[in-house]
């Protein structure tokens, strides 16, 4: 197809484009390499199918929200991905006269059919997405002015989308037109779309059709060569880097598991993240993988209630900073600005509830929550900068081993008259009940503990508690950024638990469950830990608990660290259904549940300014179901939602699942 001079010109342009692309990619590799740690390539084989087939090709994370936009995005993604093969075939056909890529048999026919169908799909999808952004101007694609956003990002996001959108339309469009010119010369039933368009050229002669095909080839592939260097600094580099994010993400027991800091290594002078290069390598890669879709922003309880925090803006700011200063970083220089100067504000850092909704919803596997936790660590450990209210909670954990600052001698007062044995009294207990600070000290949460004790006693479970030896797991300290305090609490608790060597641990608090189950292994504590709703479900299934069914309507609030972080979704619902409840689901439930507002140590301080309190927003979602009772499975959620309920004039009952069971349990 190409003449000899054209082949020479094309080769020179292709090599120049490849060289420019390799130069940019080499810089990206060096920048990502500035991050802490290194990828574990041994994870790739067992993650390959899930990363490539389920997430990259199947786009599984995308289908959770925005169904219509997801359909159009899928059409573009599938079409453009297939075009990686199509472009190779077109180049070979251009260089080898008379060659048909993949032949004219079944394989070649299927290839041409897919190319034709996916060309139409990509054009339709891209046109729809551009209408959505530039004509309809969908507000979900924007970020509030009160949120810190890189000066170049506001205009750059639209410009980037316009450039890439026009490129895809022209690249795919001219390749499709080229095929239609060819169909006018030689019919091919395996390209129905191009065949339909070819009827437009019925009046053209052979020379004009050949010229049209030739020009289309050069425009389609010329655009690729011109676009490659820009592609690597645009948001669409996610096409290559998102699969790497899925393949190489650090292995963790739970999405919310935080990495420990080594306080025994005296060579470490700084803790947490002050500059971009203080992040782990995967956190820097996140900036390049981000597609700027704002789905994380949609799910963030802080942003949706009017706070200045946007996890999307955080990743976008990182990307634009890297595009500006990446050369210096790649050369080994320190970032010219600290993270709090360009990526996120202190107010936004403190607004994060550490719920993990941003991480769960991200279609490319980014983890903005982890960035915020690392920045908090630097603020608390290195700068001693945090809300005054946290100092009270820290002092309580340091002096009395609980954030309420209640003396250990009062830790068993909730159990008076309930025949609850300590581990000293029952050293052969089959289950160690980790009561937790809230049920031990907070008046409302104590009712949950008392209800659960009655359930355990009724079912004749062989259990015990630690009593005065139990202390805070340190969840709030860790997520507030006070990793050293968490280190001390965790080390002490692991020493106690390893001495007790419990067969199983049951916790009524998802934060305790999460910490004991997924974070204490970092300190040598490996335990089987279950939630109290799991144990209650077991007891019901075994016939050890029977209930008088009550047809009350109930909606269940999934605690973030129960459902999203530890995938415990079915057991609490099974328990409620067994109680006879008519279960009504909220608009945000399961893994996409909305936070109560207490996580991330928010429980111990005033909420940042916004349009609405997070707990009030969640209560309104519960009220919208029309249910009589809001069931919870977390003492923090109980406190937050009960407070919101009081402000609403006791709009509905708020009860722990254990309380509902205890009320209906046959004696």
**Is the pLDDT at 651 greater than 90, yes or no?**
no
Per DSSP, helices labelled H in 378-509 are 388-400, 437-441, 443-458, 475-480, 483-500
**Is the pLDDT at 1 greater than 90, yes or no?**
no
Q: How confident is the model at residue 361 (pLDDT cuts 50, 70, 90)?
A: very high
Q: How confident is the model at residue 125 (pLDDT cuts 50, 70, 90)?
A: very high
Whole-number average pLDDT of the chain: 95
Assigned token pair, 477: 């300290």
Mean pLDDT for 622-633 is 97
Q: Which residues of 48-70 are buried (b: 16+ CB within 10 A; e: fewer)?
A: eeebeeebbeeeebbeebbeebb
Beta carbons within 8 Å of 104's beta carbon, 6+ residues apart = none
* pTM assigned to the model: 0.94
In this prediction, residue 236 carries a pLDDT of: 84
How many angstroms from the chain centroid is the CA of residue 608? 22
Domain boundaries, given as residue ranges, for the chain: 39-139+154-248, 276-382, 389-664
Closest CA to 379 of 270, 475, 472: 270
**Is the pLDDT at 288 greater than 80, yes or no?**
yes
N-term to C-term CA, the chain? 87
Closest CA to 83 of 186, 223, 248: 223
Mean pLDDT for 470-474 is 96
In this prediction, residue 153 carries a pLDDT of: 87
**Is the pLDDT at 156 greater than 80, yes or no?**
no
Answer yes or no: CATH 1.10.3470 is held by domain 276-382: no
Mean pLDDT for 116-122 is 97
Question: In the β-sheet with 582-583, what is the strand arrangement from edge to edge?
Answer: 582-583, 553-556, 629-632, 653-656
**Is the pLDDT at 97 greater than 80, yes or no?**
yes
In this prediction, residue 159 carries a pLDDT of: 87
- Under 8 Å between Cβ of 445 and 659: no
Q: Render pLDDT for 500-555 as a digit per residue (tens, 0 to 9).
A: 999 999 999 999 999 999 999 999 999 999 999 999 999 999 999 999 877 789 99
**Is the pLDDT at 317 greater than 80, yes or no?**
yes
Q: Render pLDDT for 407-445 as a digit per residue (tens, 0 to 9).
A: 999 999 999 999 999 999 999 999 999 999 998 988 999
Q: How far apart are CA 382 and CA 392, in angstroms?
A: 19
Assigned token pair, 10: 């094309």
Q: Render pLDDT for 11-24 as a digit per residue (tens, 0 to 9).
A: 999 999 999 999 99
């Amino acid at each position: 197809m190409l003449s000899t001079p054209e082949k020479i010109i094309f080769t020179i342009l292709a090599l120049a484009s490849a060289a420019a692309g390799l130069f940019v990619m080499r810089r990206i590799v060096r920048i990502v390499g500035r991050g802490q740690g290194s990828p574990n390539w041994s994870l790739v084989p067992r993650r390959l199918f899930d990363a490539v087939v389920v997430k990259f090709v199947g786009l599984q994370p995308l289908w959770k929200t925005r169904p219509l936009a997801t359909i159009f995005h899928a059409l573009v993604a599938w079409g453009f991905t297939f075009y990686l093969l199509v472009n190779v075939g077109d180049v070979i056909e251009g260089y080898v006269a008379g060659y048909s890529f993949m032949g004219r048999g079944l394989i070649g026919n299927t290839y041409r059919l897919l190319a034709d169908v996916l060309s139409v799909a990509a054009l339709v999808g891209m046109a729809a997405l551009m209408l959505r952004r530039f004509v309809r101007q969908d507000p979900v694609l924007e970020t509030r002015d009160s949120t810190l956003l890189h000066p170049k990002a506001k205009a750059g996001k639209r410009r980037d989308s316009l450039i890439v959108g026009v490129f895809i339309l022209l690249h795919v469009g001219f390749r499709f037109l080229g095929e239609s010119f060819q169909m006018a010369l030689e019919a091919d039933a395996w390209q129905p779309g191009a065949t339909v368009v070819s009827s437009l050229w019925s009046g053209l002669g052979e020379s004009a059709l050949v010229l049209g095909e030739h020009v289309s080839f050069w425009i389609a592939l010329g655009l690729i060569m011109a676009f490659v260097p820009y592609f690597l600094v645009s948001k669409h580099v996610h096409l290559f880097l998102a699969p790497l994010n899925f393949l190489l993400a650090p292995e963790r027991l739970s999405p919310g598991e935080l990495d420990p800091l080594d306080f025994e290594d005296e060579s470490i002078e700084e803790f947490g993240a002050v500059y971009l290069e203080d992040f782990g390598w995967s956190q820097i890669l996140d900036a390049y993988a981000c597609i700027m879709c704002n789905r994380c922003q949609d799910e963030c309880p802080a942003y949706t209630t009017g706070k200045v925090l946007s996890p999307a803006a955080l990743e976008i700011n990182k990307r634009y900073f890297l595009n500006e200063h990446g050369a210096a970083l790649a050369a080994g220089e320190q970032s010219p600005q600290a993270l709090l100067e360009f990526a996120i504000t202190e107010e936004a850092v403190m607004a994060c509830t550490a719920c993990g909704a941003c991480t769960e919803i991200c279609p490319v596997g980014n983890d903005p929550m982890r960035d915020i936790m690392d920045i908090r660590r630097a603020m608390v450990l290195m700068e001693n900068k945090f809300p005054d209210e946290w100092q009270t909670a820290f002092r309580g954990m340091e002096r009395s081993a609980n954030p309420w600052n209640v003396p250990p001698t009062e830790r068993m007062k909730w159990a008076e008259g309930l025949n609850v044995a300590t581990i000293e009294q029952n050293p052969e207990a089959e289950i160690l009940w980790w009561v937790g600070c809230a049920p031990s000290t907070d008046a409302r949460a104590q009712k949950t503990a008392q209800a659960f004790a009655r359930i355990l006693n009724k079912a004749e479970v062989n259990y015990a508690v630690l009593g005065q030896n139990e202390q805070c797991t340190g969840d709030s300290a860790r997520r507030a950024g006070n990793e050293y305090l968490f280190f001390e609490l965790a080390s002490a608790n692991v020493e106690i638990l390893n001495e007790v060597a419990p067969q199983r641990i049951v916790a009524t608090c998802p934060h305790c469950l999460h910490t004991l189950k997924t974070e204490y292994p970092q300190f040598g504590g490996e335990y089987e830990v279950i939630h109290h709703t799991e144990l209650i479900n077991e007891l019901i299934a075994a016939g050890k608990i029977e209930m008088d069914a009550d047809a009350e309507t109930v909606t269940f609030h999934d605690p973030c660290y129960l459902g999203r972080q530890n995938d415990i979704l079915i057991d609490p619902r099974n328990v409620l259904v067994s109680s006879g409840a008519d279960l009504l689901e909220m608009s945000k439930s399961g893994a996409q549940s909305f936070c109560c507002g207490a996580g991330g140590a928010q429980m111990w301080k005033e909420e940042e300014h916004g349009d609405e309190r997070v707990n009030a927003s969640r209560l309104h979602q519960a009220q919208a179901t029309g249910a009589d009772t809001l069931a919870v499975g977390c003492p923090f959620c109980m406190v937050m939602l009960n407070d919101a309920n009081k402000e609403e004039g006791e709009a509905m009952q708020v009860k722990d699942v254990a309380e509902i069971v205890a009320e209906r349990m046959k004696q």
